[in-house]
Amino acid sequence: MPRKPIEITEKIEYLSILDENANVDTKLEPKLDNDTLKKMYRFMLLGRRTDERMLKMQRTGRLGTFPQASGHEAVSIGSVSAIEKSDWHIPAYRELAGMLYRGWSLEKIILYWNGYEEGAVPPKGVNDLPYCVPVASQLLHAAGVGMAMNIKGDKKVALTYFGDGSSSEGDFHEALNFASVFKAPVIFVCQNNQYAISVPLSKQMNCKTLAQRAVAYGMPGIKVDGNDVLAMYVATKEAVDRAKAGGGPTLIEGLTYRFTPHTTADDPKRYRSEEESKEWFGKEPLTRFAKYLQNKGVMTAKDLEEMEAEVDAEIRAGIERSETLSKSEELMNPLAMFDHLYSTETEHLKEQKEELRQYLEHKKKGKKQQNHTAHPEVSSAK
Amino acid sequence: MSQDFLLPDLGEGIHEAEIIAIKVKVGQSVKEDDILFEVETDKAVVEVPSPFTGTVEAIHVKEGETAKTGCNMITIGSGSGDAKAPAKEEKKAEKVADTKTQILTPVGKASEANGGNGKTAPAPTAAPAQTAANSQSPAHHVNRDIPVPAAPAVRALARELKVDLYDVRPSGPHGRVMKEDVRSYAAGALESRVGSGSGSGSSSAVATSLRPAQPAISLHDKYGGGDDKADKTSGGSSMPSMQSTPSNLPDFSKQGEVERVPLRSIRKKIAQAMMKSWTTIPHVTTFDEADITGLNATLKSAEKSFAEKTGSRLTLTAVVIKAVVSALQKYPQFNSSLDDEKSEIIFKKYYNIGIAVATEKGLIVPVIHNADQKSLTQIAIELQDIANKTRAGKVELEKLQGGTFTITNIGAIGGTNMSPMINHPECAILGMARGADKPIVRNGNIEIGTILPLALSFDHRLADGAEAAYFVRHIINHLEHPLNFILEN
């Protein structure tokens, strides 16, 4: 019965391939063709510009509160580009770029943040779950999806995301533990932007890295420069290959920074210093990737400019479609809220739906009799 | 074609915003995304961009005002054409309101069930709403068959204050009752405006205690209806208030050009703080003089070496801070505050000395904390540091809090003496005027000496004239005989 040390041999690596000055480590550089590289950049850009446009919409009353995603593009795109369409993409709420990459339309994104449940319907041809706002809950969905695939014998992976704040939630522990015990093919990607709203990383955990938590669950973990899209790709690709070969889950920590408030209702000036923000703006993910593409001859300055214009036009068209849709009779019909929970309507829902229908009729009549100025809802439904 | 821009909810459940700056002028052409306003909500300062491209036709709000969501902020015309199609215009404006309603106020439906006219706050013609007193706010909820729209926290507050929500005039969107509505109703302030006499007489004492924690109320509410005197006279707002004066003012513009500037930011806070000090503290000021001939010479002789050693100036104020701390230790009532409600005097066992600093924007009082534990050198260095930071607008928030006594020094400018006003809720303030060479009588001879006039204003509820005279004498003894600093330890 001696007292002796138990050897824990796992080492946590840090991976960086493309640094902030666009110097590239050619030994580690992934072999991606030009079209893929261009596509990756295009969706990072589309994500960034959409995020910026959405903030302007929110500030002018055209969009509800939403969590901004600027700065998180490399973590999102680097990882999402390493999975197949048939794999599962299970986002949190800062994976705007990745969702657009997966085929979510701009109008759906905008509808979603304007409170239309139609915005949560995933596009056809991919295995995606919608945005998930309750922190860390999506990790359990991912663990479950992964376990189900094992049972069904599906050779796919589930890629899911969470923030540094989520890592302190019980859901995080349960998800990682289950996934590891059952060798579920899940890749847990942490968008470590160093702040859970205003709580800094130093108050979130007392560890060197977030990635080292993988050790406790018995899975590989790696810390990656989260503003380096190439490193994120390489780390995810390794994890995907391992998972598909039956190696179980992986934890990837992408260290990045939120260039914006937490949501539109937040003021980061109250808890982050200007110097710190400035330092991180210098490590921004798009600039270095654009330089890399130019240095490599994949895109010219002119190509980049043209892409900006193209993306801008695409966003404007998407917003217009969304705003037309949001006024359409179909989307403005409150009765539709009963339609999506069950595949067949249950008795009690039928009853409630009928009650609401009668109430709406009654209201419409009342309005006409009183000759009131029509309520916005009624007027736009006509 | 003109389009109105209504203030949206800029965060989550934000219902108003203060206009910090207006970035455009009437007649100016703006492009979509150009910044129109800078506004401050409870949560953040945000820039509001223009949703349209065109020419600014009218700006409906002023800097310093508080606008509610749904308030018409600005009208922008589409460039060349003037307002040709008013019908269409209105429709457009309404559409903006529509989107807003859908997105931001899901509880809006409640107002319909209300029996009143469904359209309330976001009507495009709504005047900039400022306070709960806004005359455009809808009538209170009379139909008792239908619940009053109010958030759970508001309901809880109403229960606590024993307020019937049906009696309260709502100021929120779609007839929603807000916390302020309940509070002002409970305080009886709204009573006179509504003209209904029911159900609030008992709760004014509770409301008074809540009042200071309530930042969004107007000055009128703050000083006019909330304090003891007003409650006793029971006639509602009989106290002279700052807000009621403008109507009594003559038309100054008849005499020549005038400019009206909104009272805001630091100026507004000073106005509020001074009003509170002057109306709640019975001030008495005692005057005296210190012969600082010797001290002055000592300071001058030490000036250079001190500056070389520390990079800071050794000033008279620094010495006065030390003398004041010593006096406060001997006469603790000058370091106390009065808790009116509990009828208790709070003696503070720490010595945080505030220093009044004049800045471009107005008077700010940074504090030297625990001055009793700091050496004269430390105080001199800190004094210069916080004064510089304050003037540059870079002083940390915690350096502006926690003062127990204040010193104000106008000596650098001039003044033979002054009558300073107490920095509420402190007990006293020491004013230093100009130390100047004057003829004085020493041992029967007229000699030239440096005389520093001092003035101590104090709260006569906490201290008396004799104590104040002793207190100032104690300071003077230290300034005239610096050896006292050493002897007392």
| Nearest residue in A to B69, CA atom | A61
Q: In terms of CATH architecture, what is A13-325? A: 3-Layer(aba) Sandwich (3.40)
| Nearest residue in A to B397, CA atom | A270
Contacts of B279 (CB under 8 A, 6+ apart): B223, B227, B239
Q: A217 — alpha (psi -120 to 50), left (phi > 0) or beta?
A: alpha
Range of the domain at B195: 152-245
Q: B175 — alpha (psi -120 to 50), left (phi > 0) or beta?
A: left
Asked whether residue B103 falls in the same domain as residue B208, the answer is no
CA A370 to chain B, closest CA, distance in angstroms equals 10
Asked whether residue B173 falls in the same domain as residue B295, the answer is no
Whether residue A300 is predicted with pLDDT greater than 80 in this model: the reply is yes
Whether residue A346 is predicted with pLDDT greater than 50 in this model: the reply is yes
* B152 CB-side CA count, 13 A: 0
Asked whether residue B371 falls in the same domain as residue B433, the answer is yes
Apex B377 CA angle, B373 and B379, nearest 5: 55
Residue B136 lies in a domain: no
Residues of chain B with Cβ-Cβ distance to A334 below 8 Å are none
* Cα–Cα distance measured from residue B243 to residue B161, given in angstroms and rounded to the nearest whole number: 27
Domain's final residue, options B113, B141, B173: B113
| Nearest residue in B to A378, CA atom | B98
Nearest Cα to Cα of residue B131 among B169, B89, B161, B77: B169
For CA atoms B223, B228, B232, B234, give the dihedral sign.
positive
* CB-CB under 8 Å, A58 with B6: no
Whether the CB of B125 is below 8 Å from some CB of chain A: the reply is no
Chain centroid to CA A232: how far? Answer: 14
Asked whether residue B393 falls in the same domain as residue B441, the answer is yes
Apex A266 CA angle, B129 and A95, nearest 5: 130
| Nearest residue in A to B93, CA atom | A376
Considering B100-109, B262-271, B358-367, the range whose residues carry the highest mean pLDDT is B358-367
Residues of chain B with Cβ-Cβ distance to A270 below 8 Å are 44
* Cα–Cα distance measured from residue B431 to residue B439, given in angstroms and rounded to the nearest whole number: 22
Range with the poorest average pLDDT among A8-17, A308-317, B39-48: B39-48
> What pLDDT is recorded for position B225?
34
> What pLDDT is recorded for position B137?
43
One-letter amino acid of B119: K
Write the DSSP symbol of residue A218.
T
Name which residue leads in pLDDT, B398 or B273: B273
For CA atoms A79, A80, A81, A85, give the dihedral sign.
positive
Whether residue B86 is predicted with pLDDT greater than 80 in this model: the reply is no
CA B166 to chain A, closest CA, distance in angstroms equals 23
Q: Is residue A112 within 8 Å of residue A149, measured between CB atoms?
A: no
* A308 CB-side CA count, 13 A: 8
Residues of chain A with Cβ-Cβ distance to B49 below 8 Å are 56, 59-60
Write the residue in A59, A265, A375 that is nearest to B118 by C-beta: A375
What CATH number should be reported for the domain holding residue B15? 2.40.50.100
* CB-CB under 8 Å, B112 with A363: yes
Range with the poorest average pLDDT among A121-135, B82-96, B289-303: B82-96
Whether the CB of B46 is below 8 Å from some CB of chain A: the reply is yes
Write the residue in B8, B50, B103 that is nearest to A115 by C-beta: B103
CA B293 to chain A, closest CA, distance in angstroms equals 48
Considering A230-244, A365-379, B257-271, the range whose residues carry the highest mean pLDDT is A230-244
Asked whether residue B350 falls in the same domain as residue B481, the answer is yes
Total count of residues recorded for chain A: 382
CA B6 to chain A, closest CA, distance in angstroms equals 8
Q: Is residue A229 within 8 Å of residue A18, measured between CB atoms?
A: yes
Give pLDDT tens digits for B216-236. Answer: 434 333 333 333 333 333 333
Write the residue in B8, B43, B112 that is nearest to A60 by C-beta: B8
Q: How many CB atoms lie within 10 A of CB B367?
A: 21
Best of B15, B48, B76, B98 to substitute, by most chain A Cβ atoms within 10 angstroms, is B98
> What pLDDT is recorded for position B489?
60
What CATH number should be reported for the domain holding residue B203? 4.10.320.10
* Cα–Cα distance measured from residue B345 to residue B367, given in angstroms and rounded to the nearest whole number: 22
Which pLDDT band holds residue A95 (cuts at 50, 70, 90)?
very high
Write the residue in A65, A270, A376 that is nearest to B101 by C-beta: A376
Whether the CB of B15 is below 8 Å from some CB of chain A: the reply is no
Give pLDDT tens digits for B248-282. Answer: 788 888 888 888 888 777 788 888 889 999 999 99
* CB-CB under 8 Å, B12 with A265: yes
Domain's final residue, options B245, B272, B294: B245
Which pLDDT band holds residue B98 (cuts at 50, 70, 90)?
very low
Asked whether residue B13 falls in the same domain as residue B70, the answer is yes
Give pLDDT tens digits for A323-340. Answer: 999 888 888 888 888 887
Q: Is residue B64 within 8 Å of residue B262, measured between CB atoms?
A: yes
**Which pair of tokens denotes residue B401?**
């809090």
Whether residue B295 is predicted with pLDDT greater than 80 in this model: the reply is yes
> What pLDDT is recorded for position B100?
34
* CB-CB under 8 Å, B47 with A60: no
Nearest Cα to Cα of residue B480 among B323, B279, B254, B249: B323
Q: Which of B60, B140, B424, B460 is catalytic?
A: B460
Write the residue in B12, B51, B102 that is nearest to A60 by C-beta: B51
* Cα–Cα distance measured from residue B136 to residue B128, given in angstroms and rounded to the nearest whole number: 10
Write the DSSP symbol of residue A124.
T
Give the residue carrying structure tokens 């910026």: A52
Residue B125 lies in a domain: no
> What pLDDT is recorded for position A22?
95
Asked if the bond preceding B425 is cis, omega within 30° of 0, the reply is yes
Asked whether residue B219 falls in the same domain as residue B290, the answer is no
Q: How many CB atoms lie within 10 A of CB B25?
A: 8
> What pLDDT is recorded for position A331?
87
Residues of chain A with Cβ-Cβ distance to B11 below 8 Å are 65, 263-266
Write the residue in A60, A62, A65 that is nearest to B11 by C-beta: A65
Range with the poorest average pLDDT among A9-18, B100-109, B414-423: B100-109
| Nearest residue in B to A375, CA atom | B118
Are β-strands B66-68 and B16-22 bridged in parallel, bridged antiparallel, or unpaired? antiparallel
Whether the CB of B23 is below 8 Å from some CB of chain A: the reply is no
What CATH number should be reported for the domain holding residue B291? 3.30.559.10
Give pLDDT tens digits for A170-206. Answer: 999 999 999 999 999 999 999 999 999 999 999 999 9
Which residues does residue B359 pair with via DSSP β-bridges, in sequence order? Answer: B362
Q: Is residue B275 within 8 Å of residue B242, measured between CB atoms?
A: yes
- List the domain boundaries for chain A: 13-325, 334-381
Asked whether residue B328 falls in the same domain as residue B476, the answer is yes
**Catalytic positions of A:** 258, 262, 271
Contacts of A348 (CB under 8 A, 6+ apart): none
Number of domains in chain B: 3
Provide the edge-to-edge strand list for the sheet that holds B45-49. Answer: B45-49, B35-40, B16-22, B66-68
* CB-CB under 8 Å, A263 with B112: no
Mean pLDDT, residues B323-350 taken together: 95
* Cα–Cα distance measured from residue A334 to residue B273, given in angstroms and rounded to the nearest whole number: 51
Write the DSSP symbol of residue A18.
B
Q: How many CB atoms lie within 10 A of CB A9?
A: 5
* Cα–Cα distance measured from residue B470 to residue B487, given in angstroms and rounded to the nearest whole number: 18
Give pLDDT tens digits for A25-40. Answer: 999 999 999 999 999 9
Whether B460 sits among the annotated catalytic residues: the reply is yes
Q: Is B420 helix (H, G, I), strand (E, B) or coil?
A: coil
Residue B270 lies in a domain: no
Residues of chain A with Cβ-Cβ distance to B9 below 8 Å are 61, 65
* A231 CB-side CA count, 13 A: 27
Residue B372 lies in a domain: yes
| Nearest residue in B to A359, CA atom | B113
Whether residue B114 is predicted with pLDDT greater than 80 in this model: the reply is no
Write the DSSP symbol of residue B221.
I
> What pLDDT is recorded for position B44?
77
State which H helix or E strand residue A89 sits in. Answer: strand A88-90
> What pLDDT is recorded for position B167?
85
The residues on A that touch B, with CB distances below 8 Å, are 56, 58-65, 114-115, 261, 263-267, 269-270, 323, 326, 363, 372-373, 375-377, 379-380
Rounded to a whole number of angstroms, the CA Rg of chain B reads 28
* Cα–Cα distance measured from residue B226 to residue A205, given in angstroms and rounded to the nearest whole number: 47
* Cα–Cα distance measured from residue A338 to residue A287, given in angstroms and rounded to the nearest whole number: 46
CA B164 to chain A, closest CA, distance in angstroms equals 28
* CB-CB under 8 Å, A380 with B98: yes
* CB-CB under 8 Å, A266 with B44: yes
Asked whether residue B226 falls in the same domain as residue B311, the answer is no
> What pLDDT is recorded for position A339?
84
| Nearest residue in B to A332, CA atom | B102
Residues of chain A with Cβ-Cβ distance to B51 below 8 Å are 60-62
Q: How many CB pairs under 8 A join A and B?
A: 82
* Cα–Cα distance measured from residue A177 to residue A170, given in angstroms and rounded to the nearest whole number: 11
Whether residue B191 is predicted with pLDDT greater than 70 in this model: the reply is no
